[in-house]
Amino acid sequence: MEAMVSAATSHAGIAISSTELCAVRTGAGGTRDSVFRAPLEPFTSETGLWPSLTAALRDLARNTAGGTLSVVLMPPLAEVRALDLPALREDEQRMLVTRNAQRYFVGARGQQLVAVAASRRRAASEPTVVAAASMRLITAISAAARDSGWMIDSIAPAEGAWAAAAKALWPAFAQRTGQLIVLHHDHTDMIHLRDGRVDGVRRFRSGAADASRIAEAINTNTPAAPRVGVVGNSESRKELTRALSAAGISVNGPSAQFLDVAELPEQLAAAFAGPKNDLVLRTDDLRGAQQKRAKRFALYIAAAAVVLVIIAGTIELWGVRRQLRDVQAQRAALKPKLAATLVGRTSIETAYRQLGVINASERTTPQWTVALVRIAEHLNEDAYLTAFRGRGDSVVVEGIADHAASVFTDLEKTPGLSRINAAAPVRREAPNGADATERFTIAAHLGEVPQKTAAAKVAK
């Protein structure tokens, strides 16, 4: 076994071949910081177990404290092919291929677990990319991971991981058609990519032995300005690059940042393993685990939303209370001024009411002065008044005149007086031998006297 810089982490990508496990551990910041290798005994489907894989994963867990695994299967443990399938839904295509796996895949033995690439801008006549692996193999890998303390988040063929690597090494591959050449020690894989996804796989002899056929396949798939990337052993890479350049095809090699990881195909596949692969092989257990994680994540999101709502409500309540305190303080400051204003308003209203009473009294009270003036105007010069009394609309006058009868006549001619009558008998008096006079007491009803006429006479 060989281990490079060891670092405890909670995630690792592993590439499993028939004879070796290659793991790339991922650090907390997403950096790939260590590589772990372990030899494997060939898997035998008779027992359904893979003891050497279990031991290798336990060794990996000692260095990484367990966690999650993203598994990729190196050829020939998983096969990827482009098949001409009927225009069915993805799940129906998967069931069709599962029932006829031995017809579509050369190495299929026993029950197969199948993944169908999600359709994207694909015409009905174009083939569908399908991956398959032995169900017994998948079950053995899952058991080995479980027994060694790991949890698997995805199992996929290496072609999907290499497609993800191509997008990272050459970002232009994410939105265009291109070819990724993967150089193994015993063969060469050429993966046709469309928008960064696997669209087909072809296999050739190792190195530059099939350079002419590779050039022909490249020109067939991408005749106009083909984009070609190559990964694998540096010597084989240089040899194939020279051969393709001679055929007029420009080849892109890995940048310095990915030079080490792109040297070995299994290491590159482990480094870019993950559940975002569109050819993930999902068992029932894996689907159940993913659904549980999705539900747990949804619960976390819901709980976080509730907490945020509570926090927002608390902040809103605090703000409302603060505004209420401000309003109460402003009201307290305005209260003395408002009280003074109300007192002033009450005083004004009281004054207006009193003025109204006075005005009403003035309008309804008999005009005694006017009546007295009018009586005085109509009396003869030999008569004068000694008393004047008024109550309601009645008036009583007392006086002395030479002849009381003339006073009655004068009062009957006075405007505003009516119902003239004697309130007491007329008394004749002759004090100290003077001329005799008559003392009278007359009552009358006081009617309405025009204000303008009365005021004018008062002024006169």
pLDDT digits (tens, 9 = 90+) for 423-442: 788 888 777 767 778 888 88
Position 299 pLDDT exceeds 80: yes
Q: What is the pLDDT of residue 122?
A: 56
So what's the pLDDT on residue 8?
45
Q: Are 385 and 403 a contacting pair, CB within 8 Å?
A: no
**With bands split at pLDDT 50, 70 and 90, how would you rate the model's confidence at 28?**
low
- Residues 260 and 320 grouped into a single domain: no
Q: Is the pLDDT of residue 413 over 60?
A: yes
Q: Are 60 and 70 in a shared domain?
A: yes
What CATH number corresponds to the domain at position 412? 3.30.1360.100
Tell me: do 381 and 318 sit in the same domain: no
User: pLDDT class for 453, splitting at 50, 70, 90?
Assistant: very low
Q: Count of domains in the chain?
A: 3
d(CA 205, CA 453): 139
pLDDT at 4: 37
Quick one: average pLDDT of 28-47?
79
- pLDDT at position 74 is 93
**Residue 460 in this model has a pLDDT that exceeds 60:** no
Tokens of 334: 């305005």
| pLDDT at residue 175 is higher than 60 | yes
**Beta-bridge partners for 197:** 194
User: What is the arithmetic mean of pLDDT over 312-330?
Assistant: 91
Same domain, 409 and 267: no
At 287, is the pLDDT very low, low, confident or very high (cuts 50, 70, 90)?
low
Beta strand pairing call for 251-252 and 228-232: parallel
Q: Using pLDDT thresholds of 50, 70 and 90, give the confidence band for residue 7.
A: very low
Beta-strand (E) ranges in 20-162? Answer: 20-26, 32-39, 67-73, 78-83, 112-116, 128-134, 150-157
pLDDT at 73: 95
Which stretch of 13-17, 25-29, 336-340, 400-404 has the lowest confidence by average pLDDT?
Answer: 25-29
**Confidence label for 138 from pLDDT (cuts 50, 70 and 90):** very high
Listed residues 333, 360, 387: the one ending a domain:
360
Domain that holds residue 313: 283-360
* Lookup: tokens for 45: 């489907």
CA geometry: angle at 264 spanning 243 and 227, to 5°? 45
Same domain membership, residue 205 and residue 237 = yes
Phi first, then psi: give them for residue 339, nearest 5 degrees: -65, -45
Mean pLDDT, range 23-37, rounded to an integer? 73
Closest Cα partner for 410 from 433, 381, 439, 451? 381
Residues of the chain with pLDDT > 90: what percent? 29
Q: Which of 360, 386, 421 is the last residue of a domain?
A: 360
Helix (H, G, I), strand (E, B) or coil at 230: strand
Q: What is the pTM of this model?
A: 0.62
- The residue out of 303, 338, 360 marking a domain boundary is 360
Position 312 scores a pLDDT of 92
Q: Higher model confidence: residue 430 or residue 59?
A: 59
